Chain A
Amino acid sequence: MTILSSRVARVAAVALVQLALVPVAVAVRSRPG
Protein backbone atom coordinates (compact mmCIF):
# COMPACT_ATOMS: atom_id res chain seq x y z
CA MET A 1 0.00 0.00 0.00
CA THR A 2 2.92 2.28 0.82
CA ILE A 3 4.38 1.53 -2.61
CA LEU A 4 1.05 2.34 -4.21
CA SER A 5 0.64 5.64 -2.42
CA SER A 6 4.22 6.72 -3.08
CA ARG A 7 3.91 5.64 -6.71
CA VAL A 8 0.66 7.55 -7.08
CA ALA A 9 2.21 10.61 -5.43
CA ARG A 10 5.31 10.42 -7.63
CA VAL A 11 3.38 9.96 -10.87
CA ALA A 12 0.86 12.67 -9.96
CA ALA A 13 3.65 15.10 -9.07
CA VAL A 14 5.49 14.48 -12.32
CA ALA A 15 2.26 14.80 -14.33
CA LEU A 16 1.64 18.17 -12.68
CA VAL A 17 5.17 19.33 -13.50
CA GLN A 18 4.68 18.15 -17.09
CA LEU A 19 1.40 20.09 -17.31
CA ALA A 20 3.13 23.16 -15.92
CA LEU A 21 5.74 22.84 -18.69
CA VAL A 22 3.08 23.16 -21.41
CA PRO A 23 2.38 26.89 -20.83
CA VAL A 24 6.15 27.45 -20.72
CA ALA A 25 6.48 25.92 -24.20
CA VAL A 26 3.63 27.99 -25.58
CA ALA A 27 4.39 31.23 -23.72
CA VAL A 28 7.99 31.37 -24.94
CA ARG A 29 6.75 31.06 -28.48
CA SER A 30 3.93 33.60 -28.28
CA ARG A 31 6.32 36.37 -27.23
CA PRO A 32 6.54 38.95 -30.01
CA GLY A 33 9.65 38.98 -32.19
Chain B
Amino acid sequence: MTHDLASSATAARAVAPSQLAWLENELTTWRAAGILDDMQAQAIRGRYVAVRRFSLTKLLLFLGGAFIGVGLLWLVASNLDNMSPLLRFIVVTLVWLGFVATAEILAERRAHRVADRSENGTPVVGAFRLLAALAFGAVVFQAAQSLHVPAYEPKLVGIWGLGALLYAYAVAGVSPLAVGIATITGWYVWHVVEQAQDGMGFVLPVLLAAVIAGAVAVVHAGRWRPSFGTLWREASVLLTLVGLFVAAFPYVDVENFVWSVPVVVGIVTALVAVAVAVVLGTGNARLEPVAPLIAAVAGILLVLWEPPDLGPDAVGAEGYAHALISVAVYVVAAGWYAVVGVRHDSPRMTFIATAALVLFTTVQSFAVFAPIVAGATLFLVLGVIFLGSGYVFDRGRRHLVANLEGASA
Protein backbone atom coordinates (compact mmCIF):
# COMPACT_ATOMS: atom_id res chain seq x y z
CA MET B 1 0.00 0.00 0.00
CA THR B 2 2.83 2.33 0.86
CA HIS B 3 4.36 1.49 -2.47
CA ASP B 4 1.04 2.19 -4.26
CA LEU B 5 0.69 5.54 -2.56
CA ALA B 6 4.29 6.39 -3.34
CA SER B 7 3.91 5.51 -7.01
CA SER B 8 0.66 7.43 -7.30
CA ALA B 9 2.33 10.38 -5.62
CA THR B 10 5.13 10.41 -8.17
CA ALA B 11 2.59 10.37 -11.01
CA ALA B 12 0.44 13.00 -9.33
CA ARG B 13 -1.29 15.37 -11.68
CA ALA B 14 -0.67 19.05 -11.16
CA VAL B 15 -3.88 20.99 -10.60
CA ALA B 16 -4.69 24.51 -9.48
CA PRO B 17 -5.05 24.97 -5.70
CA SER B 18 -8.68 26.01 -6.12
CA GLN B 19 -9.43 22.78 -8.00
CA LEU B 20 -7.79 20.76 -5.24
CA ALA B 21 -9.76 22.60 -2.57
CA TRP B 22 -12.93 21.78 -4.48
CA LEU B 23 -11.92 18.13 -4.76
CA GLU B 24 -11.14 17.88 -1.04
CA ASN B 25 -14.50 19.36 -0.24
CA GLU B 26 -16.23 16.87 -2.54
CA LEU B 27 -14.25 13.94 -1.08
CA THR B 28 -15.38 14.89 2.42
CA THR B 29 -18.99 14.94 1.22
CA TRP B 30 -18.62 11.58 -0.55
CA ARG B 31 -17.00 10.05 2.50
CA ALA B 32 -19.79 11.32 4.70
CA ALA B 33 -22.36 9.92 2.27
CA GLY B 34 -20.62 6.54 2.33
CA ILE B 35 -19.78 6.56 -1.39
CA LEU B 36 -16.06 6.26 -0.63
CA ASP B 37 -14.14 4.88 2.32
CA ASP B 38 -11.16 6.67 3.85
CA MET B 39 -8.64 4.62 1.88
CA GLN B 40 -10.27 5.35 -1.47
CA ALA B 41 -10.61 9.04 -0.66
CA GLN B 42 -6.95 9.17 0.28
CA ALA B 43 -5.96 7.35 -2.91
CA ILE B 44 -7.95 9.80 -5.03
CA ARG B 45 -6.53 12.77 -3.15
CA GLY B 46 -3.01 11.34 -3.63
CA ARG B 47 -3.39 11.48 -7.41
CA TYR B 48 -3.39 15.27 -7.42
CA VAL B 49 -0.98 17.88 -6.26
CA ALA B 50 -1.61 21.59 -6.02
CA VAL B 51 0.71 23.55 -8.24
CA ARG B 52 0.71 27.29 -8.34
CA ARG B 53 4.00 27.45 -10.18
CA PHE B 54 2.40 26.60 -13.51
CA SER B 55 0.71 29.94 -14.06
CA LEU B 56 3.84 31.78 -12.95
CA THR B 57 5.90 29.75 -15.44
CA LYS B 58 3.38 30.59 -18.12
CA LEU B 59 3.48 34.26 -17.22
CA LEU B 60 7.28 34.31 -17.26
CA LEU B 61 7.46 32.50 -20.58
CA PHE B 62 4.92 34.77 -22.22
CA LEU B 63 6.51 37.88 -20.75
CA GLY B 64 9.91 36.64 -21.93
CA GLY B 65 8.50 35.92 -25.37
CA ALA B 66 6.83 39.30 -25.59
CA PHE B 67 9.94 41.14 -24.36
CA ILE B 68 12.24 39.42 -26.84
CA GLY B 69 9.71 40.04 -29.62
CA VAL B 70 9.41 43.73 -28.76
CA GLY B 71 13.17 43.98 -28.37
CA LEU B 72 13.67 42.43 -31.78
CA LEU B 73 11.28 44.90 -33.39
CA TRP B 74 13.05 47.71 -31.57
CA LEU B 75 16.42 46.42 -32.75
CA VAL B 76 15.18 46.61 -36.32
CA ALA B 77 13.61 50.01 -35.82
CA SER B 78 16.84 51.48 -34.49
CA ASN B 79 19.53 51.36 -37.10
CA LEU B 80 21.95 48.49 -37.13
CA ASP B 81 24.62 50.64 -38.73
CA ASN B 82 27.33 48.04 -38.56
CA MET B 83 25.64 45.72 -41.01
CA SER B 84 24.74 46.10 -44.64
CA PRO B 85 20.98 46.30 -45.38
CA LEU B 86 20.96 42.85 -46.99
CA LEU B 87 22.82 41.26 -44.08
CA ARG B 88 20.41 42.85 -41.61
CA PHE B 89 17.46 41.39 -43.48
CA ILE B 90 19.10 37.95 -43.59
CA VAL B 91 19.88 38.02 -39.85
CA VAL B 92 16.32 38.96 -38.91
CA THR B 93 14.91 36.32 -41.29
CA LEU B 94 17.16 33.66 -39.78
CA VAL B 95 16.06 34.66 -36.28
CA TRP B 96 12.42 34.34 -37.36
CA LEU B 97 12.99 30.94 -38.99
CA GLY B 98 14.89 29.87 -35.87
CA PHE B 99 11.86 30.65 -33.70
CA VAL B 100 9.54 28.82 -36.09
CA ALA B 101 11.78 25.74 -36.11
CA THR B 102 12.33 25.77 -32.32
CA ALA B 103 8.59 26.00 -31.66
CA GLU B 104 7.84 23.05 -33.92
CA ILE B 105 10.71 20.91 -32.60
CA LEU B 106 9.49 21.54 -29.05
CA ALA B 107 5.91 20.80 -30.06
CA GLU B 108 7.08 17.54 -31.61
CA ARG B 109 8.89 16.31 -28.52
CA ARG B 110 6.64 14.23 -26.34
CA ALA B 111 8.00 15.85 -23.20
CA HIS B 112 6.71 19.21 -24.33
CA ARG B 113 3.28 18.06 -25.40
CA VAL B 114 0.18 18.29 -23.31
CA ALA B 115 -1.32 15.11 -21.98
CA ASP B 116 -4.46 15.27 -24.09
CA ARG B 117 -2.54 14.65 -27.34
CA SER B 118 -3.84 17.84 -28.90
CA GLU B 119 -1.59 19.63 -31.33
CA ASN B 120 -1.40 22.70 -29.14
CA GLY B 121 1.80 22.49 -27.21
CA THR B 122 2.73 23.60 -23.73
CA PRO B 123 3.31 27.23 -22.71
CA VAL B 124 6.91 26.85 -23.92
CA VAL B 125 5.70 26.05 -27.42
CA GLY B 126 3.14 28.85 -27.18
CA ALA B 127 5.87 31.31 -26.17
CA PHE B 128 8.07 30.32 -29.13
CA ARG B 129 5.12 30.56 -31.52
CA LEU B 130 4.41 34.01 -30.14
CA LEU B 131 8.02 34.92 -30.81
CA ALA B 132 7.83 33.51 -34.33
CA ALA B 133 4.69 35.57 -35.07
CA LEU B 134 6.32 38.73 -33.68
CA ALA B 135 9.59 38.02 -35.50
CA PHE B 136 7.74 37.84 -38.79
CA GLY B 137 6.75 41.45 -38.15
CA ALA B 138 10.42 42.22 -37.69
CA VAL B 139 11.17 40.57 -41.05
CA VAL B 140 8.56 42.72 -42.82
CA PHE B 141 9.76 45.95 -41.22
CA GLN B 142 13.41 45.06 -41.81
CA ALA B 143 12.65 44.48 -45.49
CA ALA B 144 11.12 47.95 -45.66
CA GLN B 145 14.08 49.48 -43.84
CA SER B 146 16.67 47.66 -45.95
CA LEU B 147 15.01 48.93 -49.13
CA HIS B 148 14.59 52.44 -47.67
CA VAL B 149 10.82 52.52 -48.08
CA PRO B 150 8.82 54.30 -45.33
CA ALA B 151 8.04 51.97 -42.43
CA TYR B 152 5.15 54.10 -41.17
CA GLU B 153 2.67 52.42 -43.42
CA PRO B 154 -0.45 50.33 -42.61
CA LYS B 155 0.21 47.84 -45.41
CA LEU B 156 3.31 46.55 -43.63
CA VAL B 157 1.19 45.83 -40.55
CA GLY B 158 -1.41 44.22 -42.81
CA ILE B 159 1.11 41.85 -44.37
CA TRP B 160 2.48 41.05 -40.91
CA GLY B 161 -1.06 40.26 -39.75
CA LEU B 162 -1.78 38.11 -42.80
CA GLY B 163 1.45 36.16 -42.25
CA ALA B 164 0.71 35.70 -38.54
CA LEU B 165 -2.81 34.46 -39.31
CA LEU B 166 -1.51 31.98 -41.91
CA TYR B 167 1.09 30.73 -39.43
CA ALA B 168 -1.49 30.48 -36.63
CA TYR B 169 -3.84 28.38 -38.75
CA ALA B 170 -1.00 26.20 -40.09
CA VAL B 171 0.33 25.27 -36.64
CA ALA B 172 -2.97 25.62 -34.70
CA GLY B 173 -1.30 28.08 -32.34
CA VAL B 174 -3.43 30.39 -30.22
CA SER B 175 -0.63 32.88 -29.42
CA PRO B 176 0.19 33.67 -33.09
CA LEU B 177 -3.56 33.96 -33.68
CA ALA B 178 -3.69 36.69 -31.03
CA VAL B 179 -0.87 38.52 -32.84
CA GLY B 180 -2.64 37.99 -36.16
CA ILE B 181 -6.01 39.31 -34.97
CA ALA B 182 -4.41 42.34 -33.31
CA THR B 183 -2.27 43.27 -36.32
CA ILE B 184 -4.86 42.65 -39.02
CA THR B 185 -7.42 44.71 -37.05
CA GLY B 186 -4.79 47.40 -36.50
CA TRP B 187 -4.08 47.47 -40.23
CA TYR B 188 -7.76 47.82 -41.20
CA VAL B 189 -8.52 50.54 -38.64
CA TRP B 190 -5.34 52.43 -39.50
CA HIS B 191 -6.07 52.15 -43.23
CA VAL B 192 -9.59 53.61 -42.86
CA VAL B 193 -8.62 56.27 -40.29
CA GLU B 194 -5.84 57.48 -42.58
CA GLN B 195 -8.38 58.34 -45.27
CA ALA B 196 -11.23 59.63 -43.09
CA GLN B 197 -9.50 61.17 -40.06
CA ASP B 198 -12.67 61.64 -38.02
CA GLY B 199 -14.76 59.83 -35.40
CA MET B 200 -16.66 57.71 -37.89
CA GLY B 201 -13.40 56.72 -39.57
CA PHE B 202 -12.35 55.06 -36.31
CA VAL B 203 -15.67 53.75 -34.95
CA LEU B 204 -16.84 52.17 -38.21
CA PRO B 205 -13.78 49.96 -38.93
CA VAL B 206 -13.53 48.90 -35.26
CA LEU B 207 -17.19 47.85 -35.19
CA LEU B 208 -16.92 46.14 -38.59
CA ALA B 209 -13.89 44.20 -37.35
CA ALA B 210 -15.93 43.23 -34.28
CA VAL B 211 -18.76 41.94 -36.50
CA ILE B 212 -16.36 39.88 -38.63
CA ALA B 213 -14.52 38.49 -35.57
CA GLY B 214 -17.85 37.53 -33.97
CA ALA B 215 -18.93 35.70 -37.12
CA VAL B 216 -15.60 33.85 -37.39
CA ALA B 217 -15.97 32.80 -33.73
CA VAL B 218 -19.39 31.25 -34.42
CA VAL B 219 -18.06 29.37 -37.46
CA HIS B 220 -15.23 27.99 -35.29
CA ALA B 221 -17.33 27.13 -32.24
CA GLY B 222 -17.74 23.45 -31.63
CA ARG B 223 -16.72 22.61 -35.17
CA TRP B 224 -13.07 23.29 -35.85
CA ARG B 225 -10.49 24.50 -33.33
CA PRO B 226 -12.84 25.76 -30.61
CA SER B 227 -9.92 27.48 -28.85
CA PHE B 228 -9.60 29.73 -31.92
CA GLY B 229 -13.31 30.48 -31.63
CA THR B 230 -12.82 31.64 -28.03
CA LEU B 231 -10.08 34.07 -29.05
CA TRP B 232 -12.07 35.46 -31.99
CA ARG B 233 -15.09 35.89 -29.72
CA GLU B 234 -13.04 37.74 -27.11
CA ALA B 235 -11.58 39.95 -29.84
CA SER B 236 -15.10 40.69 -31.05
CA VAL B 237 -16.25 41.62 -27.53
CA LEU B 238 -13.27 43.88 -26.97
CA LEU B 239 -13.67 45.61 -30.35
CA THR B 240 -17.42 46.09 -29.93
CA LEU B 241 -16.96 47.62 -26.50
CA VAL B 242 -14.10 49.86 -27.69
CA GLY B 243 -16.13 50.97 -30.73
CA LEU B 244 -19.23 51.78 -28.67
CA PHE B 245 -17.07 53.49 -26.04
CA VAL B 246 -15.72 55.94 -28.60
CA ALA B 247 -19.07 56.26 -30.41
CA ALA B 248 -20.76 57.42 -27.19
CA PHE B 249 -18.70 60.60 -26.89
CA PRO B 250 -20.69 63.64 -27.96
CA TYR B 251 -17.80 65.15 -29.93
CA VAL B 252 -17.11 62.01 -31.99
CA ASP B 253 -18.81 62.80 -35.27
CA VAL B 254 -18.68 62.71 -39.06
CA GLU B 255 -16.55 65.43 -40.60
CA ASN B 256 -14.17 64.12 -43.24
CA PHE B 257 -15.61 60.65 -43.65
CA VAL B 258 -15.38 59.22 -47.16
CA TRP B 259 -16.87 56.04 -48.53
CA SER B 260 -13.51 54.54 -49.45
CA VAL B 261 -12.99 51.10 -50.98
CA PRO B 262 -11.84 49.48 -47.67
CA VAL B 263 -14.99 50.75 -45.93
CA VAL B 264 -17.28 49.27 -48.59
CA VAL B 265 -15.29 46.02 -48.69
CA GLY B 266 -15.44 45.86 -44.87
CA ILE B 267 -19.23 46.34 -44.81
CA VAL B 268 -19.82 43.72 -47.50
CA THR B 269 -17.42 41.26 -45.80
CA ALA B 270 -19.11 41.84 -42.43
CA LEU B 271 -22.61 41.22 -43.86
CA VAL B 272 -21.49 38.10 -45.74
CA ALA B 273 -19.66 36.80 -42.63
CA VAL B 274 -22.76 37.28 -40.47
CA ALA B 275 -24.96 35.54 -43.05
CA VAL B 276 -22.56 32.59 -43.27
CA ALA B 277 -22.31 32.37 -39.47
CA VAL B 278 -26.10 32.47 -39.06
CA VAL B 279 -26.47 29.67 -41.64
CA LEU B 280 -23.69 27.53 -40.09
CA GLY B 281 -24.59 28.26 -36.45
CA THR B 282 -26.98 26.12 -34.48
CA GLY B 283 -29.49 27.04 -31.77
CA ASN B 284 -28.59 30.04 -29.65
CA ALA B 285 -25.27 30.44 -31.50
CA ARG B 286 -27.24 31.90 -34.42
CA LEU B 287 -27.93 34.98 -32.30
CA GLU B 288 -24.27 35.56 -31.52
CA PRO B 289 -23.07 37.03 -34.83
CA VAL B 290 -26.18 39.25 -34.98
CA ALA B 291 -25.33 40.95 -31.64
CA PRO B 292 -22.15 42.76 -32.83
CA LEU B 293 -24.04 43.74 -36.00
CA ILE B 294 -26.78 45.40 -33.92
CA ALA B 295 -24.06 47.01 -31.77
CA ALA B 296 -22.37 48.30 -34.94
CA VAL B 297 -25.62 49.85 -36.20
CA ALA B 298 -26.23 51.43 -32.77
CA GLY B 299 -22.66 52.76 -32.66
CA ILE B 300 -22.94 54.27 -36.16
CA LEU B 301 -26.25 55.95 -35.25
CA LEU B 302 -24.68 57.38 -32.08
CA VAL B 303 -21.85 58.86 -34.13
CA LEU B 304 -24.30 60.29 -36.70
CA TRP B 305 -26.45 61.84 -33.96
CA GLU B 306 -24.69 65.01 -32.97
CA PRO B 307 -26.26 66.94 -30.08
CA PRO B 308 -25.99 70.75 -30.41
CA ASP B 309 -22.97 72.26 -28.69
CA LEU B 310 -24.12 74.79 -26.08
CA GLY B 311 -20.66 75.80 -24.92
CA PRO B 312 -18.34 74.37 -22.28
CA ASP B 313 -20.58 74.82 -19.20
CA ALA B 314 -23.95 73.70 -20.48
CA VAL B 315 -25.56 70.45 -21.49
CA GLY B 316 -28.82 70.66 -23.40
CA ALA B 317 -31.74 68.23 -23.28
CA GLU B 318 -30.49 66.56 -26.44
CA GLY B 319 -27.03 66.25 -24.89
CA TYR B 320 -28.54 64.43 -21.91
CA ALA B 321 -30.60 62.24 -24.22
CA HIS B 322 -27.45 61.37 -26.20
CA ALA B 323 -25.60 60.48 -22.97
CA LEU B 324 -28.48 58.46 -21.54
CA ILE B 325 -29.10 56.51 -24.73
CA SER B 326 -25.40 55.80 -25.20
CA VAL B 327 -25.23 54.59 -21.59
CA ALA B 328 -28.28 52.40 -22.23
CA VAL B 329 -26.72 50.96 -25.41
CA TYR B 330 -23.49 50.28 -23.55
CA VAL B 331 -25.19 48.63 -20.58
CA VAL B 332 -27.17 46.36 -22.92
CA ALA B 333 -24.04 45.45 -24.93
CA ALA B 334 -21.88 44.83 -21.85
CA GLY B 335 -24.70 42.87 -20.20
CA TRP B 336 -25.17 40.73 -23.29
CA TYR B 337 -21.46 39.92 -23.43
CA ALA B 338 -21.32 39.16 -19.71
CA VAL B 339 -24.10 36.62 -20.28
CA VAL B 340 -22.40 35.19 -23.39
CA GLY B 341 -19.25 34.86 -21.23
CA VAL B 342 -21.23 32.90 -18.65
CA ARG B 343 -22.76 30.70 -21.37
CA HIS B 344 -19.33 29.90 -22.78
CA ASP B 345 -17.74 29.45 -19.35
CA SER B 346 -15.39 32.30 -20.15
CA PRO B 347 -14.72 34.39 -17.03
CA ARG B 348 -12.32 36.48 -19.10
CA MET B 349 -15.17 37.66 -21.31
CA THR B 350 -17.40 38.46 -18.37
CA PHE B 351 -14.50 40.37 -16.83
CA ILE B 352 -13.93 42.36 -20.05
CA ALA B 353 -17.62 43.25 -20.18
CA THR B 354 -17.79 44.30 -16.52
CA ALA B 355 -14.53 46.26 -16.58
CA ALA B 356 -15.59 48.01 -19.80
CA LEU B 357 -18.89 49.00 -18.22
CA VAL B 358 -17.19 50.46 -15.14
CA LEU B 359 -14.73 52.40 -17.30
CA PHE B 360 -17.48 53.58 -19.60
CA THR B 361 -19.72 54.79 -16.78
CA THR B 362 -16.83 56.64 -15.17
CA VAL B 363 -15.75 58.39 -18.37
CA GLN B 364 -19.30 59.21 -19.47
CA SER B 365 -20.19 60.56 -16.04
CA PHE B 366 -17.17 62.82 -16.01
CA ALA B 367 -17.74 63.91 -19.62
CA VAL B 368 -21.41 64.77 -19.17
CA PHE B 369 -21.86 65.74 -15.53
CA ALA B 370 -18.49 67.26 -14.68
CA PRO B 371 -19.11 70.52 -16.58
CA ILE B 372 -22.29 71.30 -14.61
CA VAL B 373 -21.77 69.74 -11.17
CA ALA B 374 -18.86 70.87 -9.01
CA GLY B 375 -16.63 69.30 -6.38
CA ALA B 376 -18.23 67.14 -3.72
CA THR B 377 -21.58 67.03 -5.52
CA LEU B 378 -19.87 65.51 -8.53
CA PHE B 379 -18.55 62.62 -6.46
CA LEU B 380 -21.93 62.09 -4.79
CA VAL B 381 -23.67 62.04 -8.18
CA LEU B 382 -21.04 59.68 -9.62
CA GLY B 383 -21.30 57.39 -6.59
CA VAL B 384 -25.06 57.15 -7.03
CA ILE B 385 -24.64 56.46 -10.76
CA PHE B 386 -22.05 53.71 -10.10
CA LEU B 387 -24.12 52.04 -7.41
CA GLY B 388 -27.25 52.25 -9.52
CA SER B 389 -25.70 50.92 -12.72
CA GLY B 390 -23.75 48.25 -10.82
CA TYR B 391 -26.91 47.09 -9.06
CA VAL B 392 -28.99 47.03 -12.24
CA PHE B 393 -26.21 45.29 -14.18
CA ASP B 394 -25.61 42.60 -11.57
CA ARG B 395 -29.33 42.01 -11.05
CA GLY B 396 -29.89 41.65 -14.78
CA ARG B 397 -26.92 39.32 -15.14
CA ARG B 398 -28.08 37.06 -12.32
CA HIS B 399 -31.60 37.04 -13.65
CA LEU B 400 -30.39 35.99 -17.11
CA VAL B 401 -28.00 33.37 -15.74
CA ALA B 402 -30.85 31.89 -13.67
CA ASN B 403 -33.03 31.82 -16.78
CA LEU B 404 -30.30 30.17 -18.83
CA GLU B 405 -29.71 27.55 -16.16
CA GLY B 406 -33.45 26.97 -15.91
CA ALA B 407 -33.68 26.56 -19.67
CA SER B 408 -30.78 24.11 -19.86
CA ALA B 409 -31.93 22.07 -16.86
Contact = CB atoms under 8 A, between A and B. Distances in A.
A9 to B, nearest CB: 10
Nearest to B163: A18
A22 B147 contact: no
B292 to A, nearest CB: 29
Contacts of A13: 170
Given A4-B108, A10-B171, A21 B163 contact: yes
Contact of A22 (B139, B150, B170): B139
Interface in B145-197: 147, 149-150, 153, 155-156, 158-160, 162-163, 166-167, 170-171
Interface residues of A, number: 21
Interface residues of B, number: 26
A28 B144 CA distance: 11
A4 B144 CA distance: 34
Contacts of B159: 21-22, 24-25
A12 to B, nearest CB: 9
B167 to A, nearest CB: 6
B171 A11 contact: yes
Contacts of B153: 29
A28 B136 contact: no
Given A13-B170, A14-B170, A22 B143 contact: yes
Interface of B: 93, 97, 100, 104, 107-108, 136, 139-140, 143-144, 147, 149-150, 153, 155-156, 158-160, 162-163, 166-167, 170-171
27 contacts: A3-B108, A4-B108, A7-B104, A7-B107, A7-B108, A10-B171, A11-B100, A11-B170, A11-B171, A14-B166, A14-B167, A15-B100, A17-B163, A17-B166, A18-B163, A19-B93, A21-B140, A22-B139, A24-B159, A25-B140, A25-B155, A25-B160, A26-B147, A29-B144, A29-B149, A29-B153, A30-B149
Interface of A: 3-4, 7-8, 10-11, 13-15, 17-19, 21-26, 28-30
Please name the 9 residue pairs, one residue from A and one from B, whose CB atoms are nearest each other, closest first: A25-B159, A14-B170, A18-B163, A29-B149, A22-B143, A30-B149, A21-B159, A26-B143, A10-B170
